[in-house]
Structure 1
């Protein structure tokens, strides 16, 4: 209505009750079935009555004004269609919050139970199932590790802050802010896994450091050989990623958060995490890779160790240093972004990445360390549960010399693409092994060792033991044998006619020349004259512990042996005729003990031949290198003695020899017994031997060989009657041997 008319505004007429009484406003009727109260209890919630005198439509609740009742709008078509869904949502919500309360209660009970079962922090720091083996060289320096290396306990307070911050920045940047699990991290991991085409729980896990620690602890389950087939099965069980496993892992993580402080959880993680190279924990890894304690790590070194946690085996710097350095650069960038490093510090660490220590560069000690682990009892080696220290005989300078010699010859004198293999052993005269290379790939571990595991025919490298037997029986290096066409009947095999390598005959030759030129016929005749059994006994006593050929081919090296055994047998010749057991262990003890549990594992034994006979044999073998088949092995300024060996069809080629200071042996061949092409023992093996020994003797003063030249043979005294087939000195020896063999075998 227009203003200014003076009329009062119109209002709706009052409604009266049915009884017609005025002033009694009609009380609004509550609608049933609506609201949470009605859904739960099935009846309308009672409403408060309006106080007397209150305005209609504004009844009070608990003394205050109540909102006016609004009329329900018509649903319309869309509202009608959505009505069933509203009912379903209400039903789901009512069910969900009740189930949620039950789940929360059960989780709380589970967390409480797990918390009561958790041990003290100190009991969780070293979680290895096995012990460690630390290998020292002959000077006491660490050169290799085996087993599960644990360097000692570190804590957040004692470790380098760079390492601590690098771990947090890389593994869990919200570690100090969450309660053990990170829903944001899990959601992000699921999103990444799905985007990369994997299952939601495959690949990225979104685990916090607390959850990773729970996994390292295997949720409190300790390895028991009765429950698991082996340690690998135990670890696989601990790392399974099923939904139920993730749930129990989360409960265990929550319990850890209740029981331990954040620093204690991080300390457990830093001590138990595997960081590659057999190192468990930060201290072992710092010692393994950098040769220093974990509290001395720089930013670059701490970043490198933290970077290993993602993939410790493949990222280990001993496997691929460049890849490890690249990963460390990423960790340094994360530390800068999160404020742990300044830009200058991060850039300095990236420009000067961490480098391996000399011990780490040697990897795991290669073939020599493998041999040592096979030499000690399992309970002190591969299966040890203690921390063991083994002082060995290896000389790292000599080991490097052997490796460089191998590499030099194969790079410069072997055709490209050749699959031929070689092995080298260097030892002292008492059998102490100073260097060992078991194949062309020198920096390897856990592979086939041709120096100790390959049994191959020895060829002419066996002949010194035939001559040692003869010298022990009183023969002289100047005694004469007839090198001429020769055949004999071998029972069960028929006629056998040995030939010289040159296919020529040289008539009457001395024992010294026969050995020098590696003539086969004189060696066979001499072996038959002194007796094969005696030859076998001498070779066995010198350390060749294998079944030897039964026939006359024994003298030509038809028997098999390892390079280590053959080199040890030659060491017995050098030391004056005493047997030798090659050894690499000088002392074995536990880390916690000062008293050794084991002493030297080998050395010199009983005398095999007289000292005079041994020195005469050295004199004969010196002629091999100075004038004979081993000329390529000559060492300028040094006296050296040795013997080459080539087997039938050139499947194996050997050269073994010594100076007054060291004995070295070289074998060359194919793993599948394929014949070598154009290679004899006096060829490439002699050159590898020479390259090795030249490097070995660098800086040493030349020492003469312990050899004895034979006395000239006096002419026979005719007044002494000679019996038939009696072996005479000088030129008569050949005729006597021939007569003896003719009587035995009936042939010339």
Structure 2
């Protein structure tokens, strides 16, 4: 049967077809292999022509490696450039930076300006020729030759600085400095320098050299609160930049390197020595001859006496950033010339700066500390004062608003509040100070020992690290990760935006926070648990005096962020920190309840005190920019003392308010009823008197009548600021002018 089937014609035909297919496949594979071999041989013969050996081979290999690395570097540079170029997305980026803002304090006294003065900007062609040459000879001699980054100048600066073991010459071009002024902060980071370089290239592509130089001279900080060389000429010499002499031009050009150090109203000998260097630079650069500068060297410039005038530059930088955000959000319309009444208390600002400088001068060496920062804020977020560092002229980086540091134990109130919110704990709940570990992480107390069992409130007063870690475990029902996630959520509710690293050490403050945000979060502890958003601008008007923005009208109202009753419990616990615990130096005496918390990080790299009365408060930080450890400084020493010295002054003559939810003692109630506290009781100097709230309201009604009679038209500075006459007593060195609606 099988033989009959296999011999059939159909089967034979199928066999022949399959055989042909097999032969076709075999021949195709053979032909493909042969052709591939021939192609390879041809390719090898072709490439053999390029065969090199010896030094030529080394050069080729190095070139190939360089190309590979160059391509990889290009990809990395494109990735890094992304963040820089995102800042230039807006088509009107230059218009947004052209704000001209005059700032008033809470009482209506003019305290400074920011931005370019539209009415006073002088075209570059009207500048004296020797002034332009002095700036270029000192700041960027190759300005018209480089492409935004002066490679030769940077290399030269690095060489000089290496030989001198310090920073003697700067390597940033004028274009780079303009990029920083237009788009970046003064933060000292590698990321900022990378963005600065890319933005400099972008500016060179979009603007001419003259436009770049004009923008730079209109915006550069020149000391004394003056931004732009025209404002500096008026401030230091009382004349337009068009009229400055060669000696005055040299003194102005010398300010760019260190505006405060060389400001003539601060240190005239240093300013004149620097001006002499600038004159020599003119000769070295070939712009002038020795005979042309000799008269200026023999007769140096003499500035106007302005030794008593100071500007709250840290505060104004923060306020100007706030105004720029409002303008970018379209809340100010197309207006670019503005008058802004802020919540700034000029007297408190000055006092905070003086206390910090005094402490650093007298105790900085013994504690090995060089920097400090402070924020004074009301419980609703009104910022009364900001100190961003020791010397604004030496470094404009604002450590209060832009820097982030580890808060240490000042972070613990967030942990304790989260524990109270679980319902498992009350201030009287007994906890045990004992050895505590999470995995390989074992925490120890500052004292090194263990205190045993105590109420939860006392554990916070003693700032026990072990209890904070135990609470993080209990909050998560034994899972510390879950507990830390809830703690982070509490921080977010209160306004902390910095990335909080989820590590076992989080509850004891090992993750960075920003001082301004930390201060605002603490405000919730005295206002009943409402989220506090810091703000500087109370009112904003255009040049015609028309009201564009009013915070109490246009800003979102405060929202309840955490349960009221739990915040009240926490406030009672934090009151014990000041009365019985690590924050005793912050006490303001009988009559003013204070809550607060100290903070000290590992290695004494940061020391904090954050606290509030019912009226105002904030945070104080001491440390070093390079994270060098201090000499055993804790939050209960200099930070708590600084807070006390500033707040004792700030609480004079202002209406005292109780901490929400806490029952004040009778003496505190009497102080509130008396509407003031004697300075001797607080251990502070006498604060200048200010108008009462009733007097301010009366002036506001007068202002309204004047507007009605005058048709409602007035300039920005003839509005609120003009209510008080020239003969009225002054509340600060800047002068006193009352403003309607002031909250003292």
* 8 A contact 1:307–1:324 mirrored in 2: no
Q: CA deviation at 1:604?
A: 5.6
The C-alpha deviation readout for 1:234-289, integer Å capped at 9, x for no partner, is 157899xxxxxxxxxxxxxxxxxxxxxxxxxxxxxxxx9999734676xx679857
Choose from 562, 576, 579 the match for 1:626.
Answer: 579
Instruction: Give distance in 2, aligned partners of 1:585 and 1:451.
Output: 18
Name the counterpart of 2:209: 233
In structure 1, distance between residues paired with 2:357 and 2:501 = 35
- Residue 687 (structure 1) aligns with: 641
- How far off its partner does 1:551 sit? 3.4
Query: 1:151–1:137: structure 2 CA closer, same or farther, 3 Å change rule?
Result: farther
Which whole-Å CA distance do the structure 1 matches of 2:219 and 2:598 have between them?
A: 52
Please, which moves more after superposition, 696-705 or 419-428?
Answer: 696-705
What are the residue-to-residue correspondences of 1:273-352 with 2, within 5 Å?
277-278=226-227, 308=248, 312-314=252-254, 319-321=263-265, 322=268
Separation of aligned partners in 1, 2:109 and 2:325: 23
**Equivalenced residues, count:** 452
| RMSD (Å) for aligned C-alpha atoms | 4.7
Alignment correspondent of 1:571: 523
Correspondence for 2:144 = none
Counterpart for residue 581 of structure 1: 533
- The answer for the alignment partner of 1:554 in structure 2 is 506
Is residue 411 of structure 2 the alignment partner of residue 462 of structure 1? yes
Q: CA deviation at 1:463?
A: 0.8
Higher helix share: 2
Deviates more, 1:473-482 or 1:514-523: 473-482
Distance 1:589 1:649, change over 3 A: same
SS of 1:635's equivalent in the other structure is: coil
Partners of 1:552 and 1:238 lie apart in 2 by 53
Indicate the larger mover: 369-378 or 598-607: 598-607
Is 1:612 paired with 2:557? no
Q: Which residue of 2 aligns with 1:399?
A: 349
Q: Secondary structure at the match of 1:482?
A: strand
Deviation string, structure 1 residues 421-463 (Cα, Å, up to 9, x no partner): 1111110001111111111115667x21111122111111111
Could you tell me how far apart the structure 2 residues matched to 1:583 and 1:306 are?
43
- CA deviation map 1:591-617 (0-9, x unaligned): 246131675786763212222222221
* Matches for 1:364-383 after TM superposition, within 5 Å: 365-377=312-324, 380=327
The residue number in structure 2 matching 1:650 is 604
Is residue 2:497 matched to residue 1:545? Answer: yes
- What displacement does 1:695 show? 2.1
Equivalent position of 1:257 in the other structure = none
Distance in 2 of aligned mates of 1:273 and 1:559:
36
Contact 1:469 1:530 in 2 (8 A): yes
Matches within 5 A, 1:598-747: 599=551, 605-637=558-590, 638-700=592-654, 703-708=657-662
C-alpha distance in 1, partners of 2:492/2:219? 50
Cα deviation for residue 654 of structure 1 reads: 1.0
For residue 303 of structure 1, report the CA deviation from its aligned partner.
Answer: 9.4
Q: Which has the larger radius of gyration?
A: 1
2:422 aligned with 1:473: yes
1:582–1:603 Cα contact (<8 Å) kept: no
What stretches of structure 1 of length at least 5 have no aligned partner?
A: 1-127, 155-166, 173-188, 190-224, 240-271, 328-349, 489-493, 711-748
Distance 2:579 2:546 in 1: 49
Q: Are 1:504 and 2:453 an aligned pair? A: no
1:412 aligns with 2:359: no
Q: Secondary structure at the match of 2:361?
A: helix
Which residue in the other structure is 2:437 paired with?
487
Q: Supply the distance in 2 between the matched residues of 1:549 and 1:136 (Cα, whole angstroms).
A: 40
Gap change, CA 1:285 and 1:324, over 3 Å in 2: farther
Matches within 5 A, 1:99-178: 130-151=98-119
Q: Please, which runs of 5 or more residues in structure 2 have no aligned partner? A: 1-95, 134-200, 274-299, 477-482, 665-744
Cα 1:278/1:325, change in 2 over 3 Å: same
| 1:304/1:399 CA distance change after superposition, 3 Å | farther
Query: Residues 513 and 591 of structure 1: is their aligned pair in 2 closer, same or farther, counting only changes over 3 Å?
Result: same
Q: Are the counterparts in 2 of residues 403 and 437 from structure 1 also a CA contact under 8 Å?
A: yes
Q: Residues of 1 paired with 2:572 and 2:356: CA distance?
A: 28
Q: 1:280 to 1:423 in 2, by over 3 A?
A: closer
Equivalent residue number for residue 37 of structure 2: none
The equivalences for 1:209-288 within 5 A come to 229=205, 233-234=209-210, 277-278=226-227
- 8 A contact 1:405–1:688 mirrored in 2: yes
Q: Give me the whole-angstrom Cα distance separating, in 1, the residues matched to 2:607 and 2:472.
A: 22
1:171 to partner: Cα distance? 11
Aligned partners of 2:514, 2:344: CA distance in 1, in Å?
19
8 Å contact from structure 1 (residues 486, 497) kept in 2:
yes
